Amino acid sequence: MTAPDDDHSRHNARMKRLKIARDKLQARRTAERGLLIVHTGNGKGKSSSAFGMAIRSIGWGMRVAILQFVKGTWETGERNFFAALSTDLVSFESMGEGFTWDTQDRARDIAAARRGWDRAKQLIMDPAIDFVVLDELNIVLADDTLPFAEALAFLADRPLTKHICITGRGARPELLAMADLVTEFGEVKHPFNAGFNAQKGVEY
């Protein structure tokens, strides 16, 4: 049997923990707050849809940061477009060394993913930025090129003042569980299968 004083302080401590939990929940129930968005699946459009959200946000005067984890230095339409844009509302960076089947160097992939993640954390914590796109992050999380548990813990404590959109096939279930908005891009028909090359504007 415990003394009444002990009971009292335990009750208070429990209520305090409950209130913190409830406040956290309430904060997440606010009708408008930053969303964690995931685009996954084998279909086309995961990245381009994130770019489309980016331009919508810019159209509202929001500040956007786009960070590409897999794409390296090769020329793409999106890089050309954002580089030529005469606004300081968007930044565009590619941290990757290319696809794994290009680099064939696991240590180099891990180092590139780490550099990308360090930059991602800076962007997410930057109060001036309203929308962060982490393009193809799912790819480096899928096989722990970037340690998934570490990324998940950081995202769980993310500031709720901005949207974050993570793209790439093979999103891990714990990430989907944490996300507010998930779209599965299903491949119904792909022109590669009909003998077409990857084409400018559509694929890159």
Q: Is residue 41 part of the contact set for its own copies (CB under 8 A)?
A: yes
The 8 Å CB, 24+ separation contacts for 184-187 are: 184/40, 184/41, 184/43, 185/39, 185/40, 185/41, 185/42, 185/43, 185/44, 185/45, 185/46, 185/49, 186/41, 186/42, 186/43, 187/41, 187/42, 187/43, 187/44
43 belongs to the binding site for its own copies (CB under 8 A): yes
Q: By C-beta, is 1 or 188 nearer to its own copies?
A: 188
Is the Cβ of residue 115 or residue 158 nearer to its own copies in the bound state? 158
Letters for 59-78 (x = contact with its own copies by CB under 8 A, - = none) are xx-x-------------xxx
Q: Which residue has 């302080």 as its token pair? A: 9
Residue with smaller CB distance to its own copies, 74 or 106: 74
Binding residues among 125-144 for its own copies as defined by CB under 8 A = 130-131
Smallest distance, its own copies to C-beta of residue 134, A: 15
Stretch near its own copies under the rule CB under 8 A, chosen from 99-107, 121-129, 141-149, 185-193: 185-193
Q: Show contacts with its own copies in window 76-135 (CB under 8 A).
A: 76-82, 84-86, 130-131
Q: Which bin fits 98, alpha (ψ -120 to 50), beta or left (φ > 0)?
A: left
| Distance (Å, whole) CA 146 – CA 108 | 12
Distances (CA, A) of 6 to 2, 9, 120, 174, 195: 6, 5, 46, 38, 75
CB contact at 8 A, 46 and 39: yes
Stretch that binds its own copies, among 2-10, 24-32, 99-107, 137-145 (CB under 8 A): 24-32
Residue from 4, 5, 128, 186 binding its own copies (CB under 8 A): 186
* Sheet with 163-167, side-by-side order of all strands: 36-40, 163-167, 131-135, 64-68, 90-94
> Is residue 8 within the footprint of its own copies (CB under 8 A)?
no
Q: How far is the CB of 135 from its own copies (least distance, A)?
A: 11
Q: Note the residues at the interface with its own copies (CB under 8 A).
A: 29, 31-33, 35, 37, 39, 41, 43-45, 47-60, 62, 76-82, 84-86, 130-131, 163, 176, 179-191, 194-197, 199-202, 204
